[in-house]
């Protein structure tokens, strides 16, 4: 696997430009309104991404930083999974999900502010309750545990065990029934469109924002698994690139899902192919979801007067020029916290991922083929 990975990524890295735009330049691109960065405690980045998306739209609508509770959604995610008979593994609880799953949870259970669910966690960067809940459920999933027997999992039992789990051994007080009764329903939450100013309900926007898959997922046949994409795939990636840039130009909180290799970021925090190629192995890795904040471009036609555009907002006429260049890297608000000694490259909670990295492939040993780093993009209507 390592040799295949190294050969494919080294070849792709030779094709990719290694330069970075001058970050001190006054020529900027765009930026999206965001709330403070949080840090996930378990593998539920998809819920943090959906909360970030909602918080961005709420801030644009109200002008306020509203702390949407991922813990409330995590409670109901675990509730549905346990009732569905999902087995509890030995080491790590399945906290994974997708944009469609989080959309379903919001439609069913609404949303609450963190202080409406567990008041003691309203100002915390990372949830202790979620970490405790995972540890408790893993213990109860073992033979002899209250949740080991799938057939015995009634709604009442599951709710009782979840209440114990999220209380963190009595440290936190909460009432999920009260939170649910006072929830903000999707059909009652009014949000203002970032571009047009038109107002509609969260339920409306949830159904209007669309997730599109990476071209590599949609065009592969059953016998394909090539290192490099076809001409049609590169054209499709170019189309996605333009859609992302247009949406970010309008300050829309675009969501992306991608495959993370923690051997890919360089000391400055850029996920890129050159650094990954030097490592020669994927290292710690997995799927991840975040919400975009900004982008930079390179290779702008010479007649435009400059070759690259950096981070920050800019005038409409310069945004039009950015559409003529090639996407260099994306800046995303992450759910990994900040000031971490184990990830010194993580700058102020935001990550920078090169487009060359996202549109390339890694070798998936389990699937026996090359998979795209970019999984999907969630875009607002009209893009």
pLDDT at 152: 95
pLDDT at 249: 94
- pLDDT tens by residue, 152-195: 999 999 999 999 999 999 999 999 999 999 999 999 999 999 99
pLDDT at 346: 86
Report whether 289 contacts 270 (CB < 8 A): no
Give pLDDT < 50 ranges for the chain: 1-29, 219-223
pTM of the complete model: 0.89
Report whether 78 contacts 162 (CB < 8 A): yes
Extents of the domains making up the chain: 2-33+210-379, 45-181
pLDDT at 215: 76
Q: Which residue has the tokens 């060359």?
A: 356
pLDDT at 37: 95
Contacts of 240 (CB under 8 A, 6+ apart): 212, 214, 215, 374, 377
pLDDT at 90: 84
Report whether 97 contacts 77 (CB < 8 A): yes
Structure tokens that stand for 259 in this block: 């495959």
pLDDT at 30: 63
């Amino acid at each position: 696997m390592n040799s295949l990975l190294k050969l494919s990524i080294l070849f792709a890295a030779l094709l990719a430009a290694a330069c970075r735009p001058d970050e001190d330049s006054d020529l900027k691109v765009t930026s999206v309104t965001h709330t403070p960065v949080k840090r996930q405690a378990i593998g539920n980045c998809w819920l943090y991404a959906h909360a970030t998306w909602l918080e961005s739209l709420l801030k644009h609508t109200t002008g306020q930083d509203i702390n949407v509770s991922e813990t409330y959604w995590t409670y109901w995610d675990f509730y549905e999974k346990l009732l569905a008979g999902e087995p509890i593994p030995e080491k790590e609880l399945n906290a994974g999900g997708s944009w469609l799953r989080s959309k379903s949870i919001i439609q069913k259970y609404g949303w609450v502010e963190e202080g409406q669910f567990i008041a003691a966690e309203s100002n915390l960067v990372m949830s202790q309750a979620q970490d405790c809940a995972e540890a408790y459920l893993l213990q109860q999933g073992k033979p002899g545990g209250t949740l080991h027997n799938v057939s015995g999992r009634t709604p009442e039992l599951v709710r009782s065990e979840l209440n114990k789990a999220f209380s963190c051994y009595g440290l936190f007080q909460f009432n999920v029934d009260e939170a649910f009764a006072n929830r903000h329903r999707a059909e009652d939450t009014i949000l203002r469109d970032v571009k047009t100013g038109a107002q509609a309900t969260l339920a409306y926007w949830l159904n209007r924002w669309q997730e599109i898959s990476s071209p590599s997922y949609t065009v592969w046949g059953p016998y394909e698994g090539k290192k490099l994409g076809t001409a049609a795939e590169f054209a499709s990636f170019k189309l996605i690139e333009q859609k992302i840039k247009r949406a970010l130009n309008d300050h829309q909180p675009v969501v992306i899902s991608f495959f993370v290799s923690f051997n890919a970021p360089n000391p400055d925090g850029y996920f890129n192919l050159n650094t990954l190629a030097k490592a020669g192995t994927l290292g710690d890795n997995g799927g991840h979801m975040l919400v975009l904040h900004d982008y930079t471009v390179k290779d702008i036609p010479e007649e435009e007067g400059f070759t690259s555009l950096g981070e920050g907002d800019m005038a409409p006429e310069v945004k039009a020029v950015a559409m003529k260049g090639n996407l260099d890297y994306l800046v995303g608000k992450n759910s990994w916290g900040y000031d971490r000694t184990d990830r010194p490259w993580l700058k102020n909670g935001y990550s920078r991922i090169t487009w060359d990295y996202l549109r390339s492939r890694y070798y998936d040993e389990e699937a026996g083929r090359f998979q795209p780093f970019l999984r999907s993009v969630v875009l607002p209507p009209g893009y």
